[in-house]
Structure formats: structure tokens, C-alpha cells
Copies of this chain bind each other. A is one copy, B any other.
């Protein structure tokens, strides 16, 4: 998933950059005040619209979208079935050592709860609450990115209107009309690029990713509860495979 995001971002920026460089006068497209107006205006409107803490944490959430690799669901199921085999053979306490192997923090916490002998209903409650807050946090992130995707073109237009009015009001030499209008249009261009290459697609990615993480966390909860109740590894495997597509099921290779 990360790769697609990065390929898309790099390719999109490169395409726009090359298109601009092919023209006669690329320097005209760099206009710091225009950039500040669009970025600053978008941020200002976003700060009025959302609490400061949530706006700050959206940058973190977006960064995670790039850096954190989504664990493979196939591996996750294989690992849970392996845990089931260990728990079945050596007792649930034997998972103590394996829990730290898991590279998913949520999985570690879930295994620890099971080892501690927490009641199944409580495990489910604790983990479900955590998922609900993750979902809320991501939903807020999507709202913020979508709002930025609406504010960016709006401030682009505001910048263009300011530029046009300045240019038209001081129009005494018609030959200068072109240059003034070119400058005025740059904010609209900035707003359109930010919205369509950054804010809106990132909001979409966050939504897709939330769906995927939710599925994995639900698989973990189901798996841990099944292991704790002493289910046969084969039963655990069947229960977890029901969460994934037939095609993915065939890729899952349980080492038994």
C-alpha cells in the first residue's frame, strides 16, 4: 500500500514538474507569496474548523500511512494458527515467549491479556474499545483531509480574485494584462494540485487503510478468543479464513 502511495505521489509531482519544465518559462510557476496564501489559508480555515490537537495529529496519521507497513493478513493468520498450536500443545502460558515475536503491538497486547487469564468478555471489551477509538481517530483524520481538499481550491480562487482585481484596477498598459493574469492564476493552480494530488487521495487512502486495519484487528480478537477457549488449531484456522477472500485463503500456508 505504501508503495502505491509513494509511486503515485512521485509520479504525479514528476508529471506536473515535467509539464512545467517543457514550457518556455518555468520560473513563473514558483511564487512564494501565492504558495503561502493557499497553504496558509487552507490551514487557517482547517484550524477554525477542527480542534488544534486533531489537526496536528493528522500529520502524524498521514506520516504513518507512508512509514508503517500494513502487515500481511496472510502472515497474521498463519501466526495466530501457530500460536493456537503452541497453546494447544504446551498450554497458553507457553505463548509468553512468542508474544514478543509478534511485530504488531495490538497482537502483543491481546496475547498478553490471554496469558494473564483475563476473562474473555473483558478481553473483547478492552480490545473493541481500542478499535473504536482507532476508528474515530481515523474518521477525524479523513474529515480533516477532506475539508483541506475543499478549502485549498477555495483559497486558490480567493488568491486569483485578489490578483485579478489588482491587475484590472491598475490596468493602464494592456500589454501587461497577460503577465498579471498569469500570476493571478497560479494560486488556483496550487489549490487544484494540492486538493487532487494530496488531500483528497490521502483522505481516500486513509479510509481504505482503516477498513484493512479494522479487519486485521477483528481477526486478532477472534483468534485470541478462540485460542483462549482452547480451540483446535484447525478450528482456529477455519474461523479466521472466513474473514478473507477465497483467493487469499489459498495463499495462507499454515505450517502443519
Contact = CB atoms under 8 A, between A and B. Distances in A.
Contact of A50 (B54, B162, B204, B242): B204
A19 B246 CA distance: 48
A8 B49 CA distance: 9
Given A162-B19, A162-B23, A192-B158, A205 B8 contact: no
Contact of A178 (B4, B157, B171): B171
Given A23-B166, A197-B44, A205 B159 contact: no
Nearest to A203: B49
A24 interface: yes
A67 interface: no
Nearest to A159: B19
Interface stretch (A83-91, A93-101, A183-191): A183-191
A182 interface: yes
Given A5-B47, A168-B179, A200-B49, A189 B158 contact: yes
Interface stretch (A110-118, A147-155, A224-232): A147-155
A245 to B, nearest CB: 5
A208 B50 contact: yes
A120 interface: no
A20 B246 CA distance: 48
Nearest to A34: B19
Contact of A182 (B36, B55, B165): B165
B8 A197 contact: no
Interface in A24-73: 24-25, 28-29, 33, 36-37, 40-41, 43-52, 54-55
How big is the A interface, by class?
A: 35 or more
A32 B30 CA distance: 25
B12 A44 contact: yes
A179 to B, nearest CB: 6
Contact of A154 (B45, B162, B196): B196
A62 B46 CA distance: 17
24 contacts: A4-B48, A5-B48, A8-B45, A9-B48, A11-B43, A12-B44, A15-B44, A16-B41, A16-B162, A19-B33, A19-B159, A25-B166, A25-B170, A28-B165, A28-B169, A29-B162, A45-B196, A45-B197, A50-B204, A130-B246, A133-B245, A154-B195, A158-B192, A161-B192
